[in-house]
Structure formats: C-alpha cells, structure tokens
Amino acid sequence: MARRPLPRILSTGSAQIARSRELARTAADSATDVLHPLITVSRGLRRLASAGRRRWAETPKDRRGPLLFLVASVVLVVALVPYGPLLAVISLMAAAAWQGRDRKPSEPDGPDESQTQRLQSLYEALVPYFSAAEDPAPLYTHGGEWEKAFPAYDFDATGRVTHLLIRYPAYFTDGEAESRARIEQLLHAKSGRGREYHFAWDEEGNELTLTVLAPLPTDIAAQRFVTAPGETVLGFTDPTQVQRTLPLGYGDGQRDVPPVVWRTGIRSTEPHLLVMGQPGSGTSTLLRSIALQALQWGDVVIVEGGSTGEYACLIGRDGVLAVECGLSGAVASLEWAATETERRLIATNRARQAGHPPPDDTKRPLWILLDRPSAFTHLAAADGRKDPQSLLQVPLRHGRAANVTVVVADQFDSAEALSDPVRQHTRARVVLGPATPDQLEAFLGAPPHTTPVTEVPPGRGYARLGTGPVHRLQVPATPDPYDDATSEADRQAVLALLPERTTPADAETVPSEAAPSEAASSEAVAAEAAPSEAVVAEAP
C-alpha cells in the first residue's frame, strides 16, 4: 500500500516557524542598532530626572525657595540669549547621552596574562604528541603560537580552563584508544585535577573539545518518579547525555533532572542488572531504591549476603515475598524463584498454544535482588552445600519471557566469585564509587568519555545499559530508615514510600529447605510454596 504523504502544514510547519523566528530575531537586532542613539538619550534623560528628584528631596525646605528663584533666573537668561534655547537643548541632549551610556566594564578581547600563560603551557605540552618531523607546516612547534591551535576557550573565576577547543593535525592517530587516552590524561593533569572532564573527539574535523562537567546533584531524595510500568530510575546524569527529564520535588520547589532509566520486561534488551562497587559506595542504596520502585507494580525477593540488616525496613511489607540473610533461607528462596520461573514459562506456553492470553499470575513482575551473593559462595563451599548463585541460571536465562528480573550487587574484591551465568546475562551494568579506568572499561565494556576522580560521594558512579553509551550516574539518596546516622528528612522520605505492613515481623518463621524442592513437583504446589509465608532466616 502506498504511503500517503503528510499534509504540507505538517511537513513544512517546523521549517516555517524556524524561519519566522530567525526573521523576527534579525528585525529586532536591526531595530536595536537603528534606535540605539534614541535609547541612550532616553536612558540619560531618565537618569537626569532621577538625579534632579533626589537633589530636590535632599534640599531643606527653607532653601527650596531660593533654589527655585535661581533656576527660574537661569531659564530666563537662556531664553533671552540669542540661540539660547537651541544651545540649551543641545547641551541637555549631550548630557543625557553621556549619562545614558553603557557603564558596564568592557570585556577584554582576549585572555589576560595568567590565562595566556596557561594556554601556552597546554600548547607546549601537546607539541610532542601533535607534531612530526616530516610535517612541512606544523601546527604545533616549540615556541609556536597557540592561537591557531586553540580557537575557542573559556575560564572560570579562578583562572582555570572550563572549555577548550583543540585542533590537531590530520595524521594524529585519533582512531586508536591508546593515543586518545594519552592526550586525555595529559589535558587532565595540565588543566587541573579534582574535576571531571568530558572529551568529545571530532575525527572528521580533527578537533577535540574539552569540557569541565558540573558535579551531579547529591541532594535528590527518594520519591515517586514519574515513570511507566517496566521503567526503573537508576539515578541521574548530565543533561547532554539523555533526551528526557523527570520532574522532581526539591524542598518546597520542583526541578527537572535528566534520569538514567532502565527498562525491564518482556521487550527489554537488558533484562538483568549487575552492580559493582567498593564498600560504602552506595550499592545497597541503589538496591533499596530499585526495590521501592519495583514494589509499585510487582513482587520482590531480597537475599542479603552481608547480614547487616540493610533491608529490615522491607520485612513484612506488601509485595515483599522474602528478605533472607542466612544461607538456608537464601537457598530456599532462590529454589522457589527458579521453580516459579519454570511455572510461568509453562503456563504462558500452554496459554499461547491454546490461543489464550497469558494467565494473570504470570504478568505480575517478580524481582530477585541479591546483595553480595559471593558471601554465600564461601559459606556454601565451607559447609559442602549448594551455591545459591547456581540457582540463578534459570531466572537469568528465561527471566525476560517469564517477567522475572534479577539484580545482583557485589564488591570488586569479590568479583571473581561471581558465577558465569551472572556475568553473561547481566547486560545492564553499574559501577559505583572510585574505580580505575581499566576497571571501568573491563566491567562496562567501554571506557567512559569522562575522567574518573578518586574522591566521589556515595552513590556516584557510571552506568551502561547494554551496548549504549556510558553515563555518569548519581543514585538518589535512599538510606536505611532504621540507621541512626540517617537524617530525619531522608528517613521520612523512605518511610513514605514503603508499602503497608501486612505480616508482623515477630510472627515470621524460617522456611523449611524442603518446601521449594517439594514445590518443584507440580505447578500447583509451586504456587503455594511462595516464600511470602516465611521471609527472614536467621544469620548464619
């Protein structure tokens, strides 16, 4: 079928609007240039009138009569003198033009002495990398002029570079990662450490743009984000990296912040997430934030290997099927999760073969959150028991079709203990806390376009969803509300997001390890063996 062309008003409307705006802007600039003398004289007359009113108000009442007589005498003399009124008007216009001039200090045409010295230093440092002996007209030479190499630049109040456009010769190997890394490391050192720089390479134009990035906001508290089902906000990033913003409450006001949105579900290309970081970098904070968002639409099973009680606030809440911190409970819950994934797959397949929609009990999302599962690996090896990570193979491999999402968080020192299925099926990656460029590239699969810093706030890191770009990330503040070190504002923000408590924490019992294995015998038994009846196991 031939596609009908769009109406002319729709196909050319944006171009006409842009052209109209450009014409209006040009007309306004032309009118300003033509009327600039009149605007200056009017501004001067207004300033002279204001000065006259102030002088009259400051004059004592007993002297106002003589002052009026003096002014009237001057006016009479000017009126009687030949060409007096004309000369008075000319003098008044000249005084008004002088008073109405733009008194702002003129900006210097170029950099000052300190800024010139800094640019010359950068230029000299780049000479060994951007010069060749065979070049007949080198752009970079020792003692050369930096004006041609740096056509655009900006400085901050302290005199450090904030924006710099660098031109380099065409024979520079900008397609090699090692060559780029050397230039970026050099510019980072010479422009000032302690800041994050973004490098944009234009290989076609042989130009490199250096930009100093502003710090990401760290004062965004946990709240209800305006997202659709299947969308999870991992954190917030730079406005130039994403094309979407979310309205967030900030104190008594509201502001729009660009988010990093992770999409899950049947049509997701990155159905599972892996988070790595250093101790205290905010991995548990990210998992808490994900859990609070997941509870709006689905059920959550939490397995905590650190046994620190970071998720005690979720015990017994509506939609929280289990919060396990012991080896026995972790194995039982993950066995049930694997059986539940198989049950959903079987039920969905049977419904499709019969020509019916999937059953309702398979549509509700199921989230499996594991915090430091490598701790259970060592315990299971010591006791000769099954590693809980081995039970994740079915949810990881078939979770997308069964509406099951797995999120794993661990530390860099335990990265070798992660199983192969966890590494292979977690295509969405997040790194929190300080990390070397080699660690970031090895874990994310691509180096970030910014320079990592050594000192970062909690929840600060990088995120990459599948094969997409690497984003800077700041996780929203979602602390443990039962922690004494939590501020009152953050505590109330998290407590306001918690679902209602449906099961008292005192009445919870430890699940038997045989329950999930017995549930594997049939689908009906698997549905009854959900770990919602027993959510917390004792610490090993």
In order along the chain (540 residues), what is the average pLDDT of each group of 10 residues?
48 59 72 73 84 84 83 84 83 81 62 87 93 90 90 88 93 90 90 86 93 89 91 92 84 83 91 93 94 94 88 93 92 95 94 92 94 90 86 94 95 90 93 89 88 84 93 94 91 93 58 39 39 39
What is the pTM for the complete model shown? 0.72
Give the CA dihedral 328, 495, 408, 473, nearest 10 degrees: -160
Binding residues for ATP are 277-284
Give residue 314's pLDDT: 94
Q: How far apart are CA 400 and CA 395, in angstroms?
A: 8
Q: Which of 166, 162, 198, 190 is nearest to 449 (CA)?
A: 198
Q: How far apart are CA 373 and CA 303, in angstroms?
A: 8
Give residue 114's pLDDT: 87
How many Cβ atoms are within 10 Å of 303's Cβ, its own excluded?
28
Domains in the chain, CATH or no CATH each: 111-210 (no CATH), 229-494 (3.40.50.300)
Using CA atoms, how far residue 377 sits from 330, 381, 389, in Å, is 11, 6, 7
CA dihedral sign, ordered 355, 359, 365, 371: negative
Strands (DSSP E) contained in 214-360 are 231-236, 246-250, 253-257, 259-263, 273-277, 299-304, 320-324
Q: How far apart are CA 255 and CA 251, in angstroms?
A: 10
Give residue 443's pLDDT: 92
Binding residues are 277-284
**Contact yes or no for 477/222 (Cβ under 8 A):** yes
Tell me the backbone φ, ψ of residue 212, rounded to 5 degrees.
-85, 125
Q: What is the DSSP string of 3-61?
A: PPPPPHHHHSHHHHHHHHHHHHHHHHHHHHHHTHHHHHHHHHHHHHHHHHHHHHHHS-H
Give residue 535's pLDDT: 38
Q: Which of 233, 252, 203 is nearest to 463 (CA)?
A: 233
Q: How far apart are CA 520 and CA 527, in angstroms?
A: 10
CA dihedral sign, ordered 226, 230, 232, 237: negative
Q: How far apart are CA 41 and CA 37, in angstroms?
A: 6
